[in-house]
Each structure stands twice: as structure tokens, then as C-alpha cells.
Structure 1
Amino acid sequence: MSEFKDIFPRGGENTAFAKYFVGQSYLNMLSLEQVVIGNVTFEPGCRNNWHIHHAKTGGGQILLVTAGRGYYQEWGKEPRELHPGDVVNIPAEVKHWHGAAPDSWFSHLAIEVPGEKTENEWCEPVSDSEYDRLK
């Protein structure tokens, strides 16, 4: 982990959402006012389950990659490799997952886009066979 250097503090183990992750993640909530922003750190191989950010209007999520190497994938599309400085705009109603590469720690800021009647739906885990195809 010596090469892994994040600009925000890692935060504690993400126990509140652990059932929606394969592997260990850490969460440091940076803002709970105006716009919710969390610094999410993933150990190598850790990823969250497929999920959907629902909203009547607005909503969705923005990821700002701050450290390490990871992946983002939308349902039915190829995974996208992520590096520090990458930005992912995730519209509401898009099923997706994100997490660390198998051999790298990974951190991103997760920004909840304000909207009306927003809620998250957690779905199935990313299967090992899907994940093992990543480089």
C-alpha cells in the first residue's frame, strides 16, 4: 500500500453498507449538508454490488477518482478502467457497480446528485466470474 496516496482521510470500515460490498471498504463522509459527499476507499479486489440510484427528477451520482486504480461498469456495457482524475457521471435509473482493481487500492469521492424522491436500490453482487475478467 506504500504507493497508494489519497488526498482525503480514509475513514473507518464501512460497516453500515458492508452487506452491499464484496471485500473491505472504508467510508469518510465529507459532507452531509447541501450535497452529500463521501470518500469511499476500496481494498484490492473490493467492489460494491450492482445498484441503481432512483429519482423522480434529478438524482444519480458523480464519482471523482482520487487514488489507485478501479473500475466502473453499467449493466450491459463493458467495464471502464478508472484512474486518479477520472470523472464518472451516473444518471439516475442506470444499473451499475464500481470498485477496486484486483491488484490495487482505489478511492473516489461519491457525490449524490440532488433530486426529487431519490433512493438507492441495491441488487446482486458482481459475480467472481464477471470480476475475474478484469485486467
Structure 2
Amino acid sequence: MEKLPKPATAKNPPERFTGDVWLDPIAGPREPGQRMTVATVRFAPGARTAWHSHAHGQTLHVTQGVALVQSRGGEVIEVAAGQTVYTPPGEEHWHGATPDDFMEHLAMLDLAEDPAATTTWLEHVTDDEYRRPARTDEQES
């Protein structure tokens, strides 16, 4: 067993995010063949990722607040604290906080064979895309 040092919190770059977003790495590959990475990501109100996709998909587990998540061409959905959402490999999507509240999630994904190909970053989410009405659990019933 090995106790790992705590990595420093990093502010995410404006080329990939709108607003203030911070990342705290939790786990990454330690042995050959391991690929899973896990991080806590905190979004200020109104902050969001740019459109992007992941080579091996991504699982998000919301730990605080409410996340807004949208797949390209789909509806914006709300994901509350305690809920989890999965985005399949190659699916373009974005996620972020609501306009008025902070949001935190655990981001879990597997690295691609070439780590630089793990995430493909695309254009920023427009304000109009971000402000589309979100679907809630009540609307799914």
C-alpha cells in the first residue's frame, strides 16, 4: 500500500472552459496497463466545458449542486447531487454548473493508448446553447 501525495489544485484553461473551473486529480494510472483517471472538478456558477468527446467515454458523478449536461443534438439535462451520467466513446457533449450555483462532480475516464487522444476538445458552448431550457427528472416521467 502506498499513500499518494496530494496534487495541487489546477485552474482549467480558458481555451477549454467558459468561466472558473478547478480540477483536483484523485487517481491516475500507477502500473502498466492501468488507464483510469479520476478527478474532482468544481465549476463556479455559469461555468462550463467546451464541446468535447472522450476516446473511451466518461462517467460523471455529481457530488454538489446541479450539473447541466448536453450531448450534441440532444436536450440539456439537469443532473442533481448523487446522480451519475455516462457519455459513450466519441459522443460530443458539454457539462457545467447552473447559472446561479456552484457544481462539483467526479470525472472518471480511461486514457487512450495515446494519452493526448483521450479528450478531443472542440468549440466553446455558446450562451444560447447554455441557456436552453433543461429537462428535469419530473419531465422524464
Q: What is the distance in 2 between the residues matched to 1:49 and 1:104?
A: 19
Aligned residues: 121
Residue 17 of structure 2 corresponds to which residue in structure 1?
A: 21
Q: CA deviation at 1:12?
A: 2.9
Residue 95 of structure 2 corresponds to which residue in structure 1?
A: 98
**Matches for 1:33-112 after TM superposition, within 5 Å:** 33=29, 34=34, 35-54=36-55, 59-112=56-109
Q: Deviations over 1:37-68 (max 9, x none)?
A: 010000000000000112xxxx1110011001
Q: What is the distance in 2 between the residues matched to 1:42 and 1:104?
A: 9
Q: What RMSD, in angstroms, separates the aligned Cα atoms of the two structures?
A: 2.0
Name the % identity: 36
Q: What is the distance in 2 between the residues matched to 1:31 and 1:100?
A: 23
Q: Letter of the aligned partner of 2:47 in structure 1?
A: C
Q: Letter of the aligned partner of 2:43 in structure 1?
A: F
Greater displacement, 88-97 / 112-121: 112-121
Q: Letter of the aligned partner of 2:25 in structure 1?
A: M
Gaps of 5+ in 1: 1-10
Q: CA deviation at 1:115?
A: 5.4
Q: What is the distance in 1 between the residues matched to 2:45 and 2:133?
A: 13
Gaps of 5+ in 2: 1-7, 135-141
Structure 2 residue aligned with 1:31, among 16, 19, 27?
27
Distance 1:22 1:87, change over 3 A: same
Q: Which has the larger radius of gyration?
A: 2
Q: What is the TM-score normalised by the length of structure 1?
A: 0.81
Q: What is the distance in 1 between the residues matched to 2:39 and 2:49?
A: 14
Q: What is the distance in 1 between the residues matched to 2:118 and 2:98?
A: 27
SS in structure 1 of the partner of residue 75 of structure 2:
coil
Greater displacement, 125-134 / 84-93: 125-134
